[in-house]
Amino acid sequence: MRFVSVVGARPQFIKVAMVSKMLRQFHEEQIIHTGQHYDYCLSEQFFQELAIPAPDYHLACGSTSHGAQTGAMLTAIEQILLKEHFDWVLVYGDTNSTLAATLAAAKLHIPVAHIEAGLRSYNRAMPEEINRVVTDHLADRNFCPTEMARQCLEREGITGGVSVVGDVMYDMLLSVQPLLAERAAQLLPRLHVEPGNYLLATVHRAANTDDPRTFHAIAHSFNKLKYPIIFPAHPRARACIARYHVALKKHVLLIDPPGYIDMLALQRSAFRILTDSGGIQKEAFFLGVPCITLRSETEWRETVVTGWNTLAGIHWRQIIEAVARPTPAPVEKKLFGEGDAALRIARSW
């Protein structure tokens, strides 16, 4: 069978690395890169580091408004689908790339498989929530990472073509985990921090970066914390720091976004992780590092229920209190599968 995977952002590159590797053992696959993440550190670096096959198509859609970006992707993807006659379109996660590919395929009556289906934050103000709801309802097959995700679909009347396969990001983390200790030993001295004695922070969601008051509140909380903070700054975050004239204290170290393995190594050795990223919430859970989420809701409720993730929003007192909480008791990681999600997906056709 002929498949096409459509990706455009960091978490999707991680997912497609595992799925493509397994899928190509049984079928033919091409990759469309929409260019949603066009920065080298967020795009090509991942393809090289994770040995992802080079994209067959690179759309270079770049960053613009949601409507303009989705429209440009939709137009370009439609032309490729008309030309190539694929049997299935594979989409990943909840980005504009996911939505555009799903709409293009559905209108051409090409079946869609959604990998990482069933997630819900129940916050329709988030563009990602709109993208995943629409995608789940249009997809012919929904591959859920957890039982909670399957239950979300069932509540919306989606029961056909639904499978709980586990999380493909867990697959990838397990495959690189033996490299992390050595990588951390190389990284931490260069950053002048010690294992278990620093915080790792990421901020990139529009809800946290587009409003100056919100971004200043997050920066204020960072300044209040007493630990060294390693802050890999997404291009959007760096732009906000300059635009909003944000003053960060010396214990907050801005660095360029690291590669996938380096980022995992930094997470593994951190005392706590502060983030608004869905993927990093999961990775923190997999690595056994408590996470403080800079949002008031999450699509990964499993991490909160088990005590390993605290929803602190942007309130500095709540963030400081969350950082100070004791480390929770260990829990069963198998909530996210056995580490064979990509293989189960590839074998399902």
* Distance of alpha carbon 106 from the chain centroid: 24
Q: Walk across the sheet containing 28-33 and list its strands.
A: 57-58, 28-33, 2-7, 88-92, 112-115, 141-144, 162-164
Cβ-based neighbours of 337, under 8 Å, separated by 6 or more: 145, 146, 165, 166, 167, 170, 171
Catalytic residue among 66, 204, 220, 234: 204
Would you give the DSSP letter of residue 51? T
Instruction: Report yes or no: 247 and 254 within 8 Å, Cβ to Cβ.
Output: no
Taking alpha carbons only, the member of 109, 49, 37 closest to residue 73 is 37
114 tagged catalytic: no
Region class of 99: left (phi > 0), else alpha (psi between -120 and 50), else beta: alpha
User: Can you tell me the distance from the alpha carbon of 25 to that of 22, in angstroms, rounded to the nearest whole number?
Assistant: 6
Helices (H), 50-145: 66-84, 96-107, 127-138
Q: Which residues are catalytic?
A: 204
